[in-house]
Chains A and B, each alone.
Chain A
């Protein structure tokens, strides 16, 4: 739709000008028509594989370009205790977060 106001594209960070055709979603922001076409697939923090955003059940309510870049894939969600696995992986990949002073 033609946008009513100037805005900052959540994908490329450039300005989407007033009257330019773009996409807007409440709570997410605006993006250029071209930027919206780019398919971004988030990475799973546990297995490093692709999360499979296009087929994700939350795709309607999630903007992969605007959210925290590491997510969790369906397979890893079904692990025995996915939360513990998530924490273990964070310790392995970001050891500095386990800082003890």
Chain B
């Protein structure tokens, strides 16, 4: 089990740091009544904003309705989700709304969402908690006018170390003080990434000392994933590898397809890649970015201990790539000029005419004169005909 889940705070006291902010938050909940201004938690990732909202729902007995940036892009969506909650509380128990990453809707991606949220924030009938990483954008400034803002700051390295020492003590794991200090400073106040990184370190995987997983590039990430000693370790690496999802899927695909693995493994892995690809396609089509959280769980199916897969940028072998790059340009120019002569499109010529033409050249039924460099390419192509 991941430590960050195992040691997730179970009440307000289990959290660490930002004591004054936590106090203000709990006071707000204690005194909440219809019409009380909603609350906005502002602070960097990994310091407990979402946890705080979840704990509040649990401790004060609310039914939590969570939304994120992708849900609040357009007006229609917001009304569809929130109107039943705001309109009739008795049917839905005692709801509480939590909108995470409210600062995540940028410029043209906002189809009236911010405006609709502000309207709801002005007349709250249920407790509404918003969370954002920053509050400096114009949109956030207009949101801030109708909410009470609580700033949450990153934790000091000493508090992080205090928390980490506690976890290590409970896990019975020992890490030397230098490594511990490195783990603490590299997390830059992000408690979640610090715990994930420490778990990976403690379970035997030795990450590059100068970098955290979050700053690993795709090559180091994929290689570390396949060098992992356990699924837990592989998961930790995968979850921390924060790169564009399309790039992530492509990197796995090119690495797998160029590796020498058994046909069964290849089939299994390509099936996983296809599932990941379908999920990403669905996300892009429907813009339901909340589904992205399932991508890593699917990609974890690509892990198998000691499998000889290493990162490869290109999904074709070098000789083939070279041929495509150099010979391909010349073949294109031959096809271009011959297609014109035959009064057909380049595509028709290359699909239907060109293979036939090569057969004719091979069987000496036709004799065409090409430039010296093109002649060489044509001969290469002829030689490839079986």
Contact = CB atoms under 8 A, between A and B. Distances in A.
Nearest to B22: A97
Interface string A54-81: 0011100110101111111000010000
Given A45-B19, A72-B159, A97-B13, A58 B154 contact: no
Chain A interface residue number, banded: 20 to 34
A98 B192 CA distance: 23
B205 interface: no
B155 interface: yes
Interface stretch (B183-191, B247-255, B282-290, B294-302): B183-191
B59 A99 contact: yes
Given A45-B19, A94-B23, A99 B12 contact: yes
Interface string A20-61: 000000011000000000000010010000010000111001
Interface in B117-155: 136, 152-155
Q: Chain A's interface: helix, strand, loop or mixed, by majority?
A: loop
A77 B18 CA distance: 18
A56 B157 CA distance: 10
A96 B30 contact: yes
A90 B158 contact: no
B153 A58 contact: no
A68 B13 contact: no
A69 B20 contact: yes
B60 interface: yes
Q: Chain B's interface: helix, strand, loop or mixed, by majority?
A: helix
A86 B162 contact: yes
Contacts of A91: 13
Given A27-B188, A67-B189, A101-B59, A61 B157 contact: yes
Nearest to A70: B19
Contact of A68 (B23, B155, B184): B155
B17 interface: yes
B166 interface: yes
Given A67-B155, A97-B12, 8 more contacts: A58-B185, A64-B156, A67-B154, A70-B17, A86-B162, A94-B20, A96-B27, A97-B23
A-B pairs with lowest CB-CB distance, top 6? A68-B17, A58-B157, A61-B185, A27-B188, A67-B156, A83-B166
